Amino acid sequence: MVKYTQCSKAPAGTKQQSLVPNAANCCILDNRFGEYCPTTCGVAEFFNRYQSEVDTDLSNIEGLLQQISTNTSSTTVMVEQIREIGKGPAGSQWKGIDPDSQKFDSMLEKIVEYERTVSQNENLIQRLQETFNSNTNSIFTLKQKIASLELQCQQPCRDTVQIQEFTGKDCQEVANKGARLSGLYYIKPLKAKQQFLVYCDIEPSGSAWTVFQRRLDGSLDFKKNWIQYREGFGYLSPNDDTEFWLGNEKVHQITQQSPHPYVLRIELQDWDNQKSTADYHTFKLGTEKDNYRLTYSYFIDGDAGDSFDGFDFGDDASDKFFTSHNGMQFSTYDKDNDKFDGNCAEQDGSGWWMNKCHAGHLNGKYYQGGDYSKGTDGYDDGIIWSTLRGRWYSFKKVTMKLIPLSRYGTDGQQISGGAKKGGDV
């Protein structure tokens, strides 16, 4: 076999010289041939040496091309199916898709829904756990309080409020027996079946008033029903620092102790702390059968004026007549005894001796500061005494109290007309 020979190019008659293979001479440049130009045998030897490798590479390339062709065909079929599905009616898109894929997607949806439910339940469980912990703490606190109360119950009971030892048919009789301190006393009117507790306002001279109404700070709501006004509500205190209504039945029993007529004193204090009074001769409350009708003989005196006699508001000529209170029955929101087509006690928010409706209303709503603007729904529903401050001023403090006429005047009180009175009239 002829080996590789050097490329040579020499003119005739000249000495041959070696040439470096390049594109300008006859050589086929390839690093595997070295610097020699191959002869036919050299080319054949080259192909024999590398043929197996080339055949293998070609075979691999043919396989890849075949696989690509197959995949391309499958892809073309799937694309066509998807196009057909897209053209079909709603809900038919799953018909051309593998049922296993549909099942898998359905399972995924259920798993997502389950995870969402689990998350919601975990939040609910957490809230319930917090509520449970809170209730457990509350129960523990209550058990502590119960244990404390049980311990107190094992101790001997004792009164925590001082009640004076003197008793009588009213506060004046209590004072006549020697009581000189204002405070809580039991009294038993002549026709009462049992004694009851009252606050006695005892003056240094020995004159004693039985208090049956007290307004101080608005802490007590006077919108009560018939039974509550009959029995009384609020709290009595030895320091007279609470609001209360003694009860219509008790006031009836006190004022009907014939032949002992009583004087009613109304004390008013405005928001400038100015005090005023109004006194009424022979004040009485009738029986429950007569709806605790209010009666009195006449207005004695007092710089607060006589609102019980009515007031001319200037709205109508009959204002004074239809706002007088003498002879009126007591009304509450659940027992209407007034002269009005509606219910004065309901619209003005408390029980009182309503006419059509009133000129004085001392059980009304408590308005801070005094002045108020037409109350609820435009009604004059404050603690009013029209003859002193009109219908749109609500007083700061009010007291209603009783004293036997026999003791009225002993401390300088004046009977109407200017004569001092020290005994019965």
In this structure, the answer to whether residues 119 and 172 fall within a common structural domain is: no
Mapped onto helix, strand or coil, the DSSP state of residue 390 is coil
Average pLDDT, the chain: 83
Is the distance from CB of 273 to CB of 247 less than 8 angstroms? no
pLDDT digit string, tens, across residues 237-257: 999 999 999 999 999 999 999
* Residue 405: closest CA among 391, 377, 424: 424
Residues 265 and 400 in one domain: yes
Q: Encode pLDDT of 338-391 as tens digits.
A: 999 999 999 999 999 999 999 999 999 999 999 998 655 788 999 999 999 999
The C-alpha atoms of residue 46 and residue 67 are separated, in whole angstroms, by 32
C-alpha span between 372 and 395 (Å, rounded): 11
Mean pLDDT along residues 22-28:
52
What's the N-to-C CA distance of the chain in angstroms? 171
For the question of whether the overall pTM of this predicted structure is more than 0.85, the answer is no
Query: Is there a domain that residue 9 lies in?
Result: yes
Q: For the chain, give the number of residues.
A: 425
- Determine the 3-state secondary structure of 133 from DSSP: helix
346/396 same-domain check: yes
pLDDT at 215: 98
Q: What is the pLDDT, as a whole number, of residue 55?
A: 76
Share of the chain above pLDDT 90, in %: 54
- For residue 289, count CB atoms less than 10 angstroms from its CB and return exposed for 0-12, middle for 13-18, buried for 19 or more: exposed
Residue 356: closest CA among 383, 331, 334, 386: 331
Beta strand 384-385 with 275-281 is: unpaired
**Percentage helix, strand, coil for the chain under 3-state DSSP, each rounded to 5:** 35, 20, 45
pLDDT for res 86:
58
- What is the domain range of residue 242? 166-404
Clarify whether residues 224 and 362 are in a common domain.
yes
Q: Is residue 90 part of a domain?
A: no
Residue 310, phi-psi category: left (phi > 0), alpha (psi -120 to 50), beta (remainder): left
Domain co-membership, 189 together with 264: yes
> Of 115, 140, 158, which closes a domain?
158
Q: What's the total number of domains in the chain? A: 3
Q: The tokens of 127 are what?
A: 């809230």
Instruction: Give the pLDDT confidence score for residue 8 in this predicted structure.
Output: 43
Q: 93 lies in a domain?
A: no
- Confirm whether 411 is domain-assigned: no
Which one of 139, 158, 177 terminates a domain? Answer: 158
Confidence at residue 1, expressed as pLDDT on a 0 to 100 scale: 41
Let me know if residue 422 belongs to a domain: no
Phi and psi, residue 185, nearest 5°: -140, 150
CATH number for 248? 3.90.215.10
Q: Read off the amino acid at residue 341.
A: D
Of 393 and 51, more confident: 393
Token reading at 390: 């009109």
What does DSSP assign to residue 156? P
The predicted-structure confidence for 76-89, as pLDDT tens digits, reads as follows: 777 676 666 656 55
**Is residue 83 included in any domain, yes or no?**
no
Other Cβ atoms within 10 Å of 146 Cβ, number: 10
Contact 249, 233 (CB under 8 A): no
- Domain end marker among 42, 58, 74: 74
266 and 246 in one domain? yes
Give the model's confidence band at 102: pLDDT under 50 very low, under 70 low, under 90 confident, else very high: confident
pLDDT in tens, 145-201: 888 887 777 766 555 678 888 999 999 999 999 999 999 999 999 999 999 999 999
CA distance 303 to 290: 32
Is residue 240 a contact partner of residue 182, using CB atoms and an 8 Å limit? yes
